Amino acid sequence: MRFPTKTASNNEREEFNDIVQKNVKDCYQCLKCSSGCPLTAHMDYYPHQVMLLAKMGLFDQIFESKTLWVCASCLACSSRCPRDLEPAKIMEGFRTMILRDRDQGNVEILDTRKVPRQALIASMRKFRR
Amino acid sequence: MRIGVFICWCGSNIKNMVDVEKVAEEVKSMPRVVYSQDVQYLCSEVGQADISKAIDEHNLDRVVIGACSPRMHETTFQKLLEGKGLNPYYVEIANIREQCSWVHSDKEKATEKALELVKKAVAKSYYSIPLSSDLLEVNKKALVVGGGIAGIQAALDIADAGYPVDLVEREPSIGGRMAQFDKTFPTLDCSACILTPKMVEAATHENINLYTYSEIEDVSGYVGNFKVKIKQKAKSVKADKCNGCGDCIEKCPKKVANEFDEGSSKRKAIYTLFPQAVPNKPVIDRDNCIYFEKGKCGVCQKICPTGAIDYEEQDEIIESEYGAIIAATGFDVKKPNDLAEYHYGNHPDVITSLDLERMLNASGPTEGKVVRPSTGNTPKKIVFIQCVGSRDRNKGNPYCSKVCCLYTAKHTLLLNEKFPGTESYVFNIDVRTAGKGYEEFYERARQKGANYLRGQVSKVEPLEDEDNRLLVRGYDSSLGEQVEIEADLVVLATSIEPKADSGDMAKLLGISSNEDGFFSEAHPKLKPVETQSQGIYLAGVCQGPKDIPETVSQASGASAKAITLFNKGQVESVPTTAVVNKDICSGCMQCKPVCPYEAISQEYVVEKVAGKQVKRPVASINRALCQGCGACAGLCRSGAMDLGGFTSRQLMAEVDIL
Ligand code: SF4
Ligand code: SF4
Ligand code: SF4
Ligand code: SF4
């Protein structure tokens, strides 16, 4: 990855901050979130990496990452993060940003069997279906 | 002679590896051993009470101890014996911990060895003789070598206690490294604002004598009575006449690299080190002055309104006597030229943290502006690399330089504050923030936007774009990816090193240094400001990397030691000095040159040989100077030189018993 590279716009950052109400800069990369996450085997970026990317403003990498949809929202990370950053909430924040961006809920789900139920339910709740 | 033997368990330290009961039992069969016992903790109050009781009950007059190194508790036991009315040198210690239990793993063999060590001590005690020390007067004046914050603080503390101090600084001004800094972490108070008043206080204190532009030439003597030669280099400017107007500086045609700005600016041949210099009078740097090089110029003399310039002035040697010396000689910063991957020295935009510090400083070369040296423009993207030459066994120094993590955090904060919008990336191995308020400070740096990347940079190379920028390649272990940053400026947090000539200073003072060249304290935990040479104390980074608060605390600690010495007014001389047996001394004087303390001199004895008076040279020991190192005793071919507490007879007895 080479800097300068495209980083999040101010609007995107604001939106993200509005949703999560957390300061990702607080993360000191202790890796505790990733070490406790039950689903890392299926992730391309680990939770702490999502935090780091978020911190550096590399939102696009996150939006394209599988991790957001693999995350089961089990909250293991959130309950353990020594900085009280609630990584699960951050994940949720990015999911929300993606979903809002799309055509009000017309998310194309390629293979329902591969998408965690939580994600499906979350998305239905979000768009009141 | 009635000997008592005490074998210490040292909790489990000795007991686990040495069968202490067995050792105590077996030495009972040795001649003159009338009592023997093993004790859980000999150094404790209970343990000492046991010894005391045994001395009374068994009428002991020699005590042999099997325990830890005598370095640790010899004085404890000596005091105990003294309290019982025995000569303190009637105690012998066998080191069965460091030299036995700690280094062996076979209990049976370790027990055997412990027994031999104790037996040797018993044998040695057969020949122990009472030793005594003399009381020596203490000269109540201190010498502080080095005028940085450590030296200034130490001098002020001693002076405030009412004792005179000479403060020697080799530069033309006191202030040291701290004077180069802009702001200090973690409070971000301006370095000069807290330092300058102290400098002025030191210069005006009635008990402090300032020798700037001066160096120590020679040190002799011993605690309480050091004799020191100070070389006052010729300043070529008469301090009493110069009014500090600076006209000479302005008109001087000769420019040289300014060491105070790390070479990034120029100064004149006649100069003051920095604007707040104390004393604030210029000196002529004769190595660079045209007048001294070619005999021409003389501009400063012509211009000086008070006639203060004196080209004829000579170096002056000042001889003075002191009771205590504090070494506060400071440090150098590594120039990382040998770490070629960082391109330092090859690209103007790769600088050291000290360079950046000077740039940030309002009285620095750029008056507080941070610029890319190549273009003079403000950098937007700055990469910081930590541990440059620190923690690097291969090409650098193996130790952690301790302050770089925090000063780098400070730099990112200051940049953010002064030039909003600068992007800072900090490559680090790990960030060390041990210190009050330091973690919070680091957190602030992260909050304010510094991007910390975990991993070392492997290469910095010119990008060859039109901006002549740099490409920094590293790896972020959190990201698990190689990271490349196009940077405007690269700042290297370079290693702190002992002064290049710290070895010479150690030799002059007769103190030791560790393998890295930092001066060694007498004990890393219990005697952190003392050296092995009594009366010589340490303050600041000359002893090892430290931040300002720690430096100041240590300086106060060192001065407290000196003040204690002065308050006492007397010191006990070393009792284990060498003794010459004048009957068999051949007067060859081979011992004289080997004595590091110059305690040996020649004298004459007059004897009657075959009815005639004969005058014969022999060696003589100055007991006040002798430190009991034993070099002379080992060398003497006639066996005339003996060391109190370690006589040849005693050592032979140790060998014979085996
Ligand atoms: S547990 Fe919290 S602080 Fe640690 S890496 Fe994860 S998000 Fe960062
Ligand atoms: S909430 Fe998501 S990221 Fe956090 S531990 Fe659970 S699955 Fe992993
Ligand atoms: S004599 Fe030396 S110091 Fe004086 S002006 Fe000339 S070069 Fe400068
Ligand atoms: S203080 Fe920090 S940067 Fe400096 S050597 Fe130690 S760990 Fe490395």
The answer as to whether B415 is a domain residue is: yes
Last residue of a domain, one of B72, B102, B126: B126
Instruction: Give B371-421 pLDDT, tens digit per residue.
Output: 999 999 999 999 999 999 999 988 899 999 999 999 999 999 999 999 999
**A97 touches B at CB < 8 Å:** no
**How many interchain CB pairs under 8 A, A with B?**
40
Do residues B346 and B484 share a domain? yes
Mean pLDDT of chain B: 95
Mean pLDDT of chain A: 87
The answer as to whether B137 is a domain residue is: no
* Paired strand residues for B617: B604
- Residues 6 or more apart whose CB falls under 8 angstroms from that of B411 comprise B353, B356, B357, B360, B384, B424, B491
User: What DSSP state is assigned to residue B101?
Assistant: I
Query: Are B110 and B18 contacting, i.e. CB atoms less than 8 angstroms apart?
Result: yes
The answer as to whether B354 is a domain residue is: yes
Contact state of A48 with B481 under an 8 Å Cβ cutoff: no
pLDDT over threshold 80, residue A102: no
pLDDT given at position A103? 55
Do residues B179 and B37 share a domain? no
Segment A60-70 mean pLDDT: 94
Query: Are B154 and B326 contacting, i.e. CB atoms less than 8 angstroms apart?
Result: yes
CA distance A107 to chain B (A): 29
The answer as to whether B308 is a domain residue is: no
CATH number at residue B343: 3.50.50.60
pLDDT over threshold 60, residue A128: no
The answer as to whether B242 is a domain residue is: no
Contact state of B425 with A3 under an 8 Å Cβ cutoff: yes
CATH number at residue B609: 3.30.70.20
The answer as to whether B206 is a domain residue is: yes
Segment B293-304 mean pLDDT: 92
pLDDT given at position B391? 94
> B119 falls in which pLDDT band (50, 70, 90)?
very high
Do residues B322 and B422 share a domain? no
Instruction: Give B545-570 pLDDT, tens digit per residue.
Output: 999 999 999 999 999 999 999 999 99
pLDDT over threshold 60, residue B476: yes
> B627 falls in which pLDDT band (50, 70, 90)?
confident
Tokens read off for B413: 């904060």
Query: Are B468 and B492 contacting, i.e. CB atoms less than 8 angstroms apart?
Result: no
Instruction: Give B338-378 pLDDT, tens digit per residue.
Output: 899 999 999 999 999 999 999 999 999 999 999 999 999 99
Do residues B410 and B455 share a domain? yes
Q: Which ligand is nearest to the CA of A25?
A: 1
**A1 touches B at CB < 8 Å:** yes
**A26 touches B at CB < 8 Å:** yes
Do residues B435 and B488 share a domain? yes
Segment B449-464 mean pLDDT: 92
Burial of B101 (0-12, 13-18, 19+ CB in 10 A): buried
CATH number at residue B52: 3.40.50
The answer as to whether B133 is a domain residue is: no
Segment B467-486 mean pLDDT: 92
Left (φ > 0), alpha (ψ -120 to 50) or beta: where does B520 sit?
beta
Chain A's closest residue to B479, CA to CA, is A49
- Residues 6 or more apart whose CB falls under 8 angstroms from that of B572 comprise B133, B134, B135, B136
Distance, in Å, from the CA atom of B231 to the CA atom of B228, rounded to the nearest integer, reads 10
The answer as to whether B380 is a domain residue is: yes
Residues of A with Cβ-Cβ distance to B451 under 8 angstroms: 55-56
DSSP secondary structure of B329-346: --EEE--GGG-GGG-BTT
Lowest-confidence region among A71-75, B174-178, B477-481, B526-530: B477-481
Distance, in Å, from the CA atom of B156 to the CA atom of B374, rounded to the nearest integer, reads 43
Distance, in Å, from the CA atom of A26 to the CA atom of A2, rounded to the nearest integer, reads 24
- Residues 6 or more apart whose CB falls under 8 angstroms from that of A47 comprise A33, A34, A37, A40, A67, A71, A77, A87, A91
Global confidence as pTM: 0.83
Residues of B with Cβ-Cβ distance to A1 under 8 angstroms: 479, 481-484
> A113 falls in which pLDDT band (50, 70, 90)?
confident
Instruction: Measure CB to CB from residue B478 to each of A1, A2, A29 and give the nearest one.
Output: A29
> How far does chain B reach from its first CA to its final CA, in angstroms?
21
Do residues B185 and B325 share a domain? yes
- Residues 6 or more apart whose CB falls under 8 angstroms from that of B19 comprise B107, B111
Q: Of the residues B402, B431, B433, which should be mutated to test ligand 4's pocket, given the most ligand atoms within 8 Å of the CB?
A: B402
- Residues 6 or more apart whose CB falls under 8 angstroms from that of B523 comprise B530
Q: What number does the ligand 2 atom closest to the CA of A75 have?
A: 1
CB atoms closer than 10 angstroms to residue A14: 11
SS (HEC) of chain A: CEECCCCCCHHHHHHHHHHHCCCHHHCCCCCHHHHHCCCHHHCCCCHHHHHHHHHCCCHHHHHCCCHHHHCCCCCHHHHHCCCCCCHHHHHHHHHHHHHHHCCCCCCCCCCHHHCCHHHHHHHHHHCCC
Q: What number does the ligand 1 atom closest to the CA of A26 have?
A: 3
Instruction: Give B48-103 pLDDT, tens digit per residue.
Output: 999 999 999 999 999 999 999 998 899 999 999 999 999 999 999 999 999 999 99
Do residues B107 and B203 share a domain? no
Do residues B122 and B13 share a domain? yes
Do residues B555 and B610 share a domain? no
Do residues B199 and B277 share a domain? no
Last residue of a domain, one of B126, B150, B171: B126
For β-strands B135-137 and B570-572, DSSP reports them as: antiparallel
Is there an atom of ligand 1 within 6 Å of A37 CB?
A: no
Q: Which domain holds residue B584?
A: 578-656
Do residues B222 and B273 share a domain? no
> A107 falls in which pLDDT band (50, 70, 90)?
low
Distance, in Å, from the CA atom of B421 to the CA atom of B266, rounded to the nearest integer, reads 31
pLDDT given at position B624? 84
Q: Ligand 4 site: residues with CB under 6 angstroms?
A: B 386-387, 390-391, 400-405, 432, 493
Left (φ > 0), alpha (ψ -120 to 50) or beta: where does A115 sit?
beta
Contact state of A56 with B451 under an 8 Å Cβ cutoff: yes
Last residue of a domain, one of B74, B98, B126: B126
- Which ipTM value was assigned to this complex? 0.73
pLDDT given at position A129? 45
Residue nearest to ligand 2 atom 2, measured at CA: A71
Q: Ligand 2 site: residues with CB under 6 angstroms?
A: A 33, 36-37, 39, 47, 71-77, 87-88, 91
Residues of B with Cβ-Cβ distance to A25 under 8 angstroms: 446-447, 449
Q: Count up the domains in chain B and report the number.
A: 5
> A120 falls in which pLDDT band (50, 70, 90)?
confident
Residues of A with Cβ-Cβ distance to B479 under 8 angstroms: 1, 49, 52-53
Residues of A with Cβ-Cβ distance to B482 under 8 angstroms: 1
pLDDT over threshold 60, residue B507: yes
Residues of B with Cβ-Cβ distance to A48 under 8 angstroms: 478
Do residues B100 and B18 share a domain? yes
Helix (H) or strand (E) holding B303: helix B299-303
CA distance A52 to chain B (A): 7
pLDDT over threshold 70, residue A108: no
CA distance A97 to chain B (A): 22
* Paired strand residues for B384: B426, B491
